[in-house]
Structure 1
Amino acid sequence: MTHPEDQDRTRELPAYLDPRGVDQPTERYRGAAYDPRVDHHRPAADQPTQVYPPAAQQPPAQRSPYQPAAQPPGAYPPGGSPTGGDDVPPRKRKRRGWKIFGSVVLVLVVAIAGFVIYLDTSLNREDILADYDGRPADTPGVTWLLVGSDSREDLTDEQKDELATGDAEGKRTDTIMLLHIPDSDAPPSLISLPRDTLTDIPDYGQQKLNAAFAFGGGSLLAQSVEGLTGLRIDRYAEIGFGGFAGIVDAVGGVEMCLDEPMNDPLAGLDLEAGCQTLNGSQALGYVRTRASANADLDRVQRQREFLSALLSEAASFGTLINPFTSVPLALEVADTLIVDDDVHLWHLASMGLAMGSGDLVTTTVPVAATPTLPEVGSVVQWDDAAATAMFDAIRADEAIPSELITTE
């Protein structure tokens, strides 16, 4: 059945496509959302019976959380670029990363340089190596005079008890060594000079070598050693009881292997045989004790062994990269070491590397006898011919002949 009003309906367009438009929307269309199922040119009775709520009552459309919010014309979406990515091009990101890295490196370099300058200015310098008439001429390489004193300055009563140092006033030298660092390809050498060596001390006549230190400190000792060996001393370093123990503790102790037990109440020493790590107090007793068959000659051998082990540990890679070890160690060295006016921190580093090297030659000056003399006591007399040959080799910046190397 055909509706009368539909006879010409085939020639009509739907209202939403009619270019003539609709004059006034009907009341039931006003404010309603468009529905393609509704034909506004048909009577209401022929329309679908479903009622659509006004647009104002419909819930607002929910935007997907993955759908970006609308942006003003010409604006970039979140991320800063038309594609939604980082607004910094890859080349600029890499350049910014290098700038940050460079800034961090610069800060570290400045901090390390400042710390080195602080340490260098903190060194205890004294005028030790003064010129005098008849001083030996300069020779190739660098020769250090290393001195360990029994100074108890700056030690509290508790520290004196802990280190078993006693209460003696002043300072004497327990350790006298020469370290030669050659300019040639010869190995560095560390030579012990027994403190009881009989020698001529300027203005004091024949005395034990360590008496020079008691009479005139490091300056008179250096002059006496130069006269005894014919070598020119280029650098000087001295450390006391407290400083030595502090450095050992700063590196976490030093491992030593003992062939037999060692016990010396006077040095506060009680060690078992075998390998063990010595702390500062034990290390001090170990290098001080003379409670052995050869007394002072045995002691200088232990001193060389321990000092080499200590400096090898201090210069090790593990110690240097660990700020909890290297920083306290550096501060302890700067605070307790006494050096001559021309010594700087890099000179100490060179000394440490030489003593920690695997090719270091350690020996005692050749000894001929150990007599007891009136008014002087027990002394050490050198083998003059062998000692002269040893120091001639050092003066020429050559390796010490193997037949002159001794550990006794």
Structure 2
Amino acid sequence: MSEDDRTRAMRSPGDGRPLPPRPGDGPRSGGAPAYQVPSGGPGAPTHALPAASQIPEPPPPVQPRAGSRVYGKARSGSSPVKPLTPRDEPSPRGPRRRLSGKTILKIVAGLLVVLLVAAVGLFFWVGSRLTGIDGVLEDYAGRPADTPGTNWLLVGSDSRKGLSAAERKKLRTGQAVGQRTDSMMLLHIPETGDKPTLVSLPRDSAVTIPGKGRDKLNAAYNGGPQLLVRTVETVTGVHVDNYMEIGFAGFVDIVDAVGGVEINVRAAVDDPKAGLKLKKGTQVLTGAQALGYVRTRKGGDLPDYERTQRQRQFLGAVVKKAASPGVLINPFTSIPLAMSATDAVAVDPGTGVFDLLSLGLSMGDSPVTTVVPFGGNEAVPSGGTAVRWDRAKALALFDALKNDKPVPKNIVDTG
């Protein structure tokens, strides 16, 4: 027995079976395996170990293409491996999916539907908040017949309703009770496609008030909006289709809701009574400043005349700003504006949201602005003097509006 056999016998477990080969045991001479477990017998394993020649060799490593790069390793021919960044690492959520054109179209359509529903809801909400003045446009004997186009009577009253004592003091509105008209304008929106015409009616105009006699136009408002409308229709011959008035408090709120109004102040104004001090030039006015700007009588040789110019200038600017897309499509401005406007204005019962939109669009169309031509003064029975209209030019102006024609250029006030 050789030395190796004796060594194996000594390591035998005692039942005559030799132990499995240890690492390093090579094959015997002649190529036979150093050890092979018998196929049977007590304690024999259920599966025989395969011969070395039967063990499959591992597959050869995949050779990457030259110049390619894998995570964490540089393949042959490539540059040194750079550290991985979050952008290089695979996303745990998997590859990103790009939206198809059809999906994008569905999303856009859904957004449009939401906006449409919101707009319809806002439309009805605004309509429900409008305050109507009953009887303001009632028929009466001898009322002018309906004429082409649409005619608005726009009235700014000096009502202090809604203002606290502190606000009256801050805005310098005074403590007068009741209300009077602070400004009156006639807006004609033509059917012919021409530009609208905005005409100032000076409140101190000498007119004949039905049932009251000769007096200042402003005095007609003491009998209420209905008497004022009837007076305007009687002296102009123009049928009034819509009526709207606004007080001091609403005036300020609307201007502030749209973020102020840009006005070209043509001359410096310093009016402590109105609480106003403005430099000459283009500037953005707050609600309080705008109120003082349209009310002040300071400046110019004809204060009332220039006052009507400022009122038309301001009205055009504020309505144009309110009707601009930047205000209307922005809920942070359009909703406060809608709330302020509906709280501030009062209209005839037949005026709705579409009418107000038409008014806004017309004012944003740079209307022709003018004032009723006048010449001289006239004493009135109530005391004091009133402004006497130039009868021939005034008739030409109002005839143009009644017939839906452009106002003659020789009587247009371009100021």
Match status 1:244 vs 2:251: yes
Deviation sequence 1:328-363 (CA, Å, 0-9, x none): 1111111111000111111111111111113x1000
Match 1:174 to one of 182, 187, 203: 182
Q: Alpha carbons of 1:95 and 1:194: their partners in 2 closer, same or farther (altered >3 Å)?
A: same
Match status 1:323 vs 2:338: no
2:52 alignment partner in structure 1: 37
Give the TM-score normalised by structure 1.
0.77
Alignment check: 8 A CA contact 1:245 1:281 kept: yes
| AA of the residue aligned to 2:245 | E
Instruction: Count residues with an aligned counterpart.
Output: 346
Q: Alpha carbons of 1:210 and 1:95: their partners in 2 closer, same or farther (altered >3 Å)?
A: same
Q: Alpha carbons of 1:117 and 1:29: their partners in 2 closer, same or farther (altered >3 Å)?
A: same
Q: Alpha carbons of 1:130 and 1:94: their partners in 2 closer, same or farther (altered >3 Å)?
A: same
Alignment of 1:287-302 (within 5 A): 287-292=294-299, 293-302=301-310
Match status 1:366 vs 2:373: yes
| AA of the residue aligned to 1:204 | K
Question: Equivalent residue of 2:302, what SS?
Answer: coil
| AA of the residue aligned to 2:304 | D
Q: Alpha carbons of 1:107 and 1:294: their partners in 2 closer, same or farther (altered >3 Å)?
A: same
Q: Alpha carbons of 1:5 and 1:101: their partners in 2 closer, same or farther (altered >3 Å)?
A: closer
Alignment check: 8 A CA contact 2:270 2:278 kept: yes
Match 1:185 to one of 190, 193, 206: 193
Give the TM-score normalised by structure 2.
0.76
Q: Alpha carbons of 1:30 and 1:382: their partners in 2 closer, same or farther (altered >3 Å)?
A: same
Question: Equivalent residue of 2:192, what SS?
Answer: coil
Q: Distance in 2 between matches of 1:403 and 1:4?
A: 132
Q: Distance in 2 between matches of 1:350 and 1:391?
A: 22
Question: Equivalent residue of 2:52, what SS?
Answer: coil
Q: Alpha carbons of 1:23 and 1:118: their partners in 2 closer, same or farther (altered >3 Å)?
A: same
Q: Distance in 2 between matches of 1:179 and 1:331?
A: 24
Q: Alpha carbons of 1:246 and 1:5: their partners in 2 closer, same or farther (altered >3 Å)?
A: closer
2:154 alignment partner in structure 1: 146
Shift of 1:267: 1.6
1:125 alignment partner in structure 2: 132
1:406 alignment partner in structure 2: 413
Question: Equivalent residue of 1:370, what SS?
Answer: strand
Q: Distance in 2 between matches of 1:4 and 1:213?
A: 133
2:284 alignment partner in structure 1: 277
Question: Equivalent residue of 1:380, what SS?
Answer: strand
Q: Alpha carbons of 1:361 and 1:28: their partners in 2 closer, same or farther (altered >3 Å)?
A: farther
Shift of 1:372: 4.3
Q: Distance in 1 between matches of 2:164 and 2:273?
A: 19
| AA of the residue aligned to 1:198 | A
| AA of the residue aligned to 2:412 | I
| AA of the residue aligned to 1:342 | G
Shift of 1:85: 9.6
Deviation sequence 1:357-392 (CA, Å, 0-9, x none): 13x100001112134445331211101111101111
Alignment of 1:2-401 (within 5 A): 29-30=45-46, 35-37=50-52, 101-127=108-134, 128-215=136-223, 217-292=224-299, 293-358=301-366, 360-373=367-380, 375-401=382-408
Structure 1 runs not aligned, ≥5 long: 7-14, 16-21, 41-83
Q: Alpha carbons of 1:148 and 1:38: their partners in 2 closer, same or farther (altered >3 Å)?
A: same
Alignment check: 8 A CA contact 1:256 1:277 kept: yes
Question: Equivalent residue of 1:270, what SS?
Answer: strand
Structure 2 runs not aligned, ≥5 long: 1-27, 56-93
Alignment check: 8 A CA contact 2:236 2:398 kept: yes
% identical equivalent positions: 45
Q: Distance in 2 between matches of 1:340 and 1:204?
A: 24
Q: Alpha carbons of 1:407 and 1:109: their partners in 2 closer, same or farther (altered >3 Å)?
A: closer
Q: Which moved more, 1:185-194 or 1:287-296?
A: 287-296
Question: Equivalent residue of 2:117, what SS?
Answer: helix
Alignment check: 8 A CA contact 2:203 2:217 kept: yes
Question: Equivalent residue of 1:379, what SS?
Answer: strand
Q: Distance in 2 between matches of 1:25 and 1:136?
A: 130
Shift of 1:98: 5.2
| AA of the residue aligned to 2:200 | S
Q: Distance in 1 between matches of 2:293 and 2:208?
A: 30
Alignment check: 8 A CA contact 2:215 2:380 kept: no
RMSD (Å), alpha carbons: 3.1
Deviation sequence 1:33-72 (CA, Å, 0-9, x none): x6451789xxxxxxxxxxxxxxxxxxxxxxxxxxxxxxxx
Shift of 1:26: 8.7
| AA of the residue aligned to 2:323 | A
